Chain A
Amino acid sequence: MTAIPLSRLLAVGRPDDAPVADGVTFARFRADVAGNAARLKGCRRGLLVAADAYWGAVGLLALLHAGAEVTIPPNAQPGTLTALTADGAVPVGGDLRPGGEGPGGEEMALTPLDPETPLTFFTSGSTGEPKRVVRTLGMLEAEALATEAVLGRLAGPTARVHATVPHQHVYGLNFRLLWPLVTGRPFASTMHELWETVPAALDAGSVLVTSPAHLTRLSGIAPLPPSRRPALVLSAGAPLPEPAAREAAAVFGTAVTEIFGSTETGAIAHRHREGGDPPWRPLPGVVAGRTPEGRLRVGATHVEGREHVGSDLVEMAGDGGFRLLGRADRIAKVEGKRVSLPEVEAQLRRSPLVADAAVLTLEQLCAVVVPSAEGAARLEEIGAFRFGRSLRRELSAVLEPAGLPRRWRFVNRLPDGALGKRRHADIAALFEEATLSEAALSEAVLPEMAGPRSTAPDVRAVRSLADGVELDLFIPGNLVQLDGHFPGMPIVPGVAQIDWAVMFANTHLGLGIEAAQALQVKFRRVTVPDTLVTLALRHAPARRRLSFEYRCGDETLSSGSIGVEGIAP
């Protein structure tokens, strides 16, 4: 099927029976857009919050055809939506209705759209606040056509597109929604959150839009039979580690195609992970260059101002390709010396004791390390402190003292956010407890020979869930909360567990719960201190509830839910 630019998709149209998504035909899609556009007429700015990709496509085009500016919020948390709707933007998602229904059943005439119409996105940002990025409809259109020019020959013209990523950021929007839509490929409207549901959905020759967050968690998934092997597996958001690339190729029978880009530029380059570390090839119409400071310069029609210089350091490879050397913002100043954080991480990963590592500066250089099997045995044997010191001794052979981490945390998995992007805040959170007690110490009068006592468990790992967050917590035996509750019998009181659920939900999910209200809780097993427990926090904005569960291994210790104030999306 020929590609039709997004601005003219509905004005030009396709045959009525052409598939769009999950059994929905083009005629149905056009009616849904026309009906909702008529309802949204007069809306100046819309906030696209539909969770489902089909209704996301309907909402996006209905807003555009109604003449509204579209904002794609970085997430659907109540706080985010409150901030974004403060200046009059209208959330559009759950209220979308099939076209031709309801009073009036009015439809809007679908004329070509203005390619200059602005759309607002937000960068997730490796540090700090999300940043607003404005792109035009014409840029999205050009990006989808450039995508077709390079991937069109790899995916058949009727290949079905599946995804494990949401459509609310630039990667998902282009690859799972706009590219299929403008090229006439049907797309699945529901996102797969777990691998378990993927094999049954895939068929031979389909496309899977995924990310390192999923591809690094493939263990236990059996290789797919030929009848279910996708033609194309896409990954973007963060570099895909080599072991995950190999495992993915074995499971899917297809080498992963990696996409490189940013919120500011959209997709700009790709590479096939058929082994080794091939250079990135720009998409058609994109020119990659290097600034005198070594940063990547991107020239493309789908980039605002036609040129963008970001924070990625590159070296040029032959034929217009490039290799990424890390981020310019990952050069830290430690004790007046420039330290390349990626280099410290790379040196750590070279140790046979280390499987993965992340390094950051929090006044001091801090390292979070995932030990290898050999490393884990050593850690068990000599303890965290001496293990850290032995890694530091190894590093001191190749790095200057400023590049040697001062503080260490050992975890089973590095925390990562959407698409496997590592978030500074999640890594920093692993050091938070010690920082708190240090702060408490400096304020306190000299303590009587006793160390400071904590009031919260030690966060050992943080993992994102589709609808929340999961934390591994170590509950130390000297917690203040343990005093006097059950004399002679150390048990973590339920009230403390509820307090921590609220505290971690406020910090990690951005909720503003002041007190645990409308509480429902069930204590199944006693929780004893000096153990490692897992706390899962899930936020259901529609139900205005936060649910929590404390587990030890596979056993549920306690679970419940708490009311969350705020608007439902």
Chain B
Amino acid sequence: MLTQDEIYARLQSYLEDMFEVPPEKISREARLFEDLDLDSIDAVDLVVKLQELTGRKFKPEEFKSVRTVGDVLDRVHALLQE
């Protein structure tokens, strides 16, 4: 079972490698769209990547309300607890 920190480390590397987000902009508080300049295509790609990481199938609507990096972590963690 992945810990929150492990998921965060992975998420951070995805943001850097897949989306080329500068590491210094990434924090739990960073807003995906406004601060990190991601768009809806990126959000879908990110969910796909998280599915591969966790081996769980997520529904895109489960991520509809996420705004920040921290929200994504909480969401993934909560879904893995289920």
A interface residues (Cβ-Cβ under 8 A, vs B): 384-386, 389, 392-393, 396, 401, 404, 406-407, 434, 437-438, 441, 446-449, 451-452
Contact = CB atoms under 8 A, between A and B. Distances in A.
Interface string B58-69: 000000000000
B28 interface: no
Given A406-B45, A407-B18, A438-B18, 5 more contacts: A385-B19, A392-B41, A393-B39, A401-B44, A437-B17
A437 B23 CA distance: 15
A404 B44 CA distance: 13
A386 B19 CA distance: 10
A348 to B, nearest CB: 15
A384 B21 CA distance: 10
Of B13, B16, B38, B45, most A-chain CB atoms within 10 Å: B13
A384 B13 contact: no
Contacts of B21: 385
A453 to B, nearest CB: 11
B27 to A, nearest CB: 12
B17 A449 contact: no
A441 B39 contact: no
Q: Please report whether the interface of chain B is mostly helix, strand, loop or mixed according to DSSP.
A: helix
Contact of A451 (B6, B16, B41, B42): B16
A446 B6 contact: yes
A406 B45 CA distance: 9
A535 B44 CA distance: 38
Contacts of B54: none
A123 B37 CA distance: 44
A376 to B, nearest CB: 18
Contacts of A447: 9, 13
A448 B3 CA distance: 13
A446 B9 CA distance: 7
Of B12, B17, B19, most A-chain CB atoms within 10 Å: B17
B69 to A, nearest CB: 13
Contacts of A448: 9
Nearest to B36: A385
A452 B9 contact: no
Interface residues of B, number: 21
B8 to A, nearest CB: 8
Contacts of A385: 19-22, 37
Contacts of A401: 41, 44
A434 B14 CA distance: 11
Nearest to A435: B17
A404 to B, nearest CB: 6
A352 to B, nearest CB: 20
Given A437-B17, A441-B17, A449 B9 contact: yes
A447 B37 CA distance: 24
13 contacts: A385-B20, A385-B37, A389-B37, A401-B41, A401-B44, A404-B41, A434-B17, A437-B17, A449-B8, A449-B12, A451-B16, A452-B13, A452-B17
Contacts of B37: 385-386, 389
B10 A389 contact: no
Nearest to B9: A446
B5 to A, nearest CB: 8
Contacts of B19: 385
Nearest to B10: A446
A40 B33 CA distance: 71
B39 A392 contact: yes
Contacts of B18: 406-407, 438
Contacts of A434: 17, 20
Contacts of A404: 41
Contacts of B10: 446
A367 to B, nearest CB: 13
A441 B13 contact: yes
A422 to B, nearest CB: 24
Contacts of A449: 8-9, 12
B9 A406 contact: no
Contacts of A396: 41
A448 B5 CA distance: 9
Given A392-B41, A393-B39, A438 B17 contact: yes
Of B19, B41, B44, B45, most A-chain CB atoms within 10 Å: B41
Nearest to B5: A449
Contacts of A452: 13, 17
B23 to A, nearest CB: 6
Contacts of B45: 406
Contacts of A437: 17
Nearest to A404: B41
A452 to B, nearest CB: 7
A396 B44 CA distance: 15
A392 B43 CA distance: 14
9 closest A-B pairs (Cβ-Cβ)? Answer: A451-B16, A386-B37, A446-B9, A385-B20, A446-B6, A438-B17, A389-B39, A451-B13, A389-B37
A412 B19 CA distance: 22
A427 B38 CA distance: 25
A389 B43 CA distance: 13
Nearest to A385: B20
A451 B20 contact: no
Nearest to A388: B20
A404 B6 CA distance: 31
A336 to B, nearest CB: 13
B6 to A, nearest CB: 5
Contacts of A446: 6, 9-10
Nearest to A382: B37
Contacts of A451: 12-13, 16-17, 23
B41 A406 contact: yes
A430 B62 CA distance: 35
A409 to B, nearest CB: 10
A386 B25 CA distance: 13
Nearest to A437: B17
Contacts of B17: 434, 437-438, 441, 451-452
